């Protein structure tokens, strides 16, 4: 019998991350749970250990603190049992760009992008060397839509999507599966934490439904999974249009519309 890889999940103390923890424990994987709230992580770990008979480690870390982040990176680098990283920890922010403070913006960017890419970078060389494993990055449909009015949050999630697509191209030939998951509004604490009243949202997905759908995409080895997108062909069309642009980009020739009049 082959041993299932251990799954390291960031932001596992509640919301989408806690449900991922539950689902992978149900599948028989050992877990490493990462977040700031040690008490909540321990409570979840105790329950999942007793319900699913799996080994669970708790790693308390604030991923915006480089020292804490370095401990998680070291674990990903050195612990050969970890074969799946779920880069889930993230936060949102209320208000317009002008209303948000420079420090709060930097904090959001540090959590949603710097921590995520550092953790991916810590595990990817080992996974590539072993010829297997997976990295799941939680983005958002907001990363597709500047029109949603969450510019910084959306920009961090556009980063997550781009990075995931790039890493998928780089790492899939080496046997490493990279998945971007793009939820839309989902019922978790993220709204409350950001100071946004969840009742002002017209449509909201349940977190369990979101994770179950994301796992359907995971089992299919889909590079990008968008559970709320009803017609998958629209995503394929968007990618085809984007790729169509590439053949139009000619490095040495200025496009005619920019040529200075003589």
Catalytic sites, residue numbers: 153
CB of 261 to ligand NAP, least distance (A): 47
Could you say whether residue 206 binds ligand NAP (CB under 6 A)?
A: no
With CB under 6 A as the contact rule, the residue among 6, 7, 8, 13 that binds ligand NAP is: 13
CA 161 from centre of chain: 8
> What mask, x for binding ligand NAP by CB under 6 A, covers residues 153 to 172?
--------------------
CB of 62 to ligand NAP, least distance (A): 4
> What is the DSSP code string of 26-56?
HTT--EEEEES-HHHHHHHHHHHHHHH---E
Return the number of the residue (5 or 11) whose C-beta is nearest ligand NAP. Answer: 11
Return the number of the residue (37 or 51) whose C-beta is nearest ligand NAP. Answer: 37
Q: Within positions 84 to 103, which residues make up the interface with ligand NAP, using CB under 6 A?
A: 88-91
> What is the DSSP code string of 139-176?
--GGGG-GGGS-HHHHHHHHHHHHHHHHHHHHHGGGT-
Total of chain residues touching ligand NAP, rule CB under 6 A: 29
Of 21, 18, 39, the residue nearest 29 (C-alpha): 21
CB of 141 to ligand NAP, least distance (A): 7
With CB under 6 A as the contact rule, the residue among 190, 211, 214, 224 that binds ligand NAP is: 190
> How many other CB atoms sit within 10 Å of the CB of residue 196?
17
As a whole number of angstroms, the distance between CA 108 and CA 93 comes to 8
As a whole number of angstroms, the distance between CA 58 and CA 35 comes to 9
Q: Which residues pair with 134 in a beta bridge?
A: 84, 177
Q: Within positions 104 to 143, which residues make up the interface with ligand NAP, using CB under 6 A?
A: 111, 138, 140
For CA atoms 127, 6, 25, 68, the dihedral sign is negative
SS3 181: strand
CB of 150 to ligand NAP, least distance (A): 10
CB of 22 to ligand NAP, least distance (A): 13
Which range, of 58-66, 118-126, 238-246, 253-261, touches ligand NAP by CB under 6 A? Answer: 58-66
Could you say whether residue 63 binds ligand NAP (CB under 6 A)?
A: yes
Could you say whether residue 224 binds ligand NAP (CB under 6 A)?
A: no
> What is the DSSP code string of 78-98?
H-TTEEEEEE-------S-TT
Residue with tokens 């251990």: 6
CB of 6 to ligand NAP, least distance (A): 18
Could you say whether residue 225 binds ligand NAP (CB under 6 A)?
A: no
Give the interface with ligand NAP as residue ranges (CB under 6 A).
11-17, 35-37, 40, 61-64, 88-91, 111, 138, 140, 183, 185-186, 188-190, 193
């Amino acid at each position: 019998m082959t041993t299932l890889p251990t799954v390291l999940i960031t932001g596992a103390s509640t919301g989408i991350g806690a449900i991922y923890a539950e689902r992978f424990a149900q599948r028989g994987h050992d877990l490493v749970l990462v977040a700031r709230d040690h008490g909540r992580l321990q409570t979840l770990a105790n329950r999942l250990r007793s319900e699913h008979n799996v080994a669970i480690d708790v790693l308390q870390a604030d991923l915006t603190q480089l020292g804490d982040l370095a401990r998680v990176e070291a674990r990903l680098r050195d612990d050969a049992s970890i074969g799946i990283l779920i880069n889930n920890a993230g936060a949102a922010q209320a208000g317009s760009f002008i209303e948000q403070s420079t420090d709060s913006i930097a904090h959001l960017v540090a959590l949603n992008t710097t921590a995520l890419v550092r953790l991916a970078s810590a595990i990817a060389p080992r996974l590539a060397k072993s010829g297997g494993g997976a990295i799941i990055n939680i983005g958002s449909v907001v990363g597709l839509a500047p029109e949603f009015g969450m510019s910084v949050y959306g920009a961090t999630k556009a980063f997550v999507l781009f990075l995931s697509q790039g890493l998928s191209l780089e790492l899939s030939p080496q046997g490493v599966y990279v998945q971007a998951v793009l939820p839309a509004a989902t019922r978790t604490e993220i709204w409350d934490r950001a100071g946004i009243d969840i009742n002002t949202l017209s449509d909201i997905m349940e977190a369990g439904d979101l994770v179950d759908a994301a796992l359907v995409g995971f089992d299919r080895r889909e590079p990008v999974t968008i559970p709320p997108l009803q017609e998958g062909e629209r995503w394929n069309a968007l990618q085809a249009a984007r790729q169509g642009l590439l053949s139009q980009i000619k490095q040495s020739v200025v496009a005619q519309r920019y040529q200075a009049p003589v």
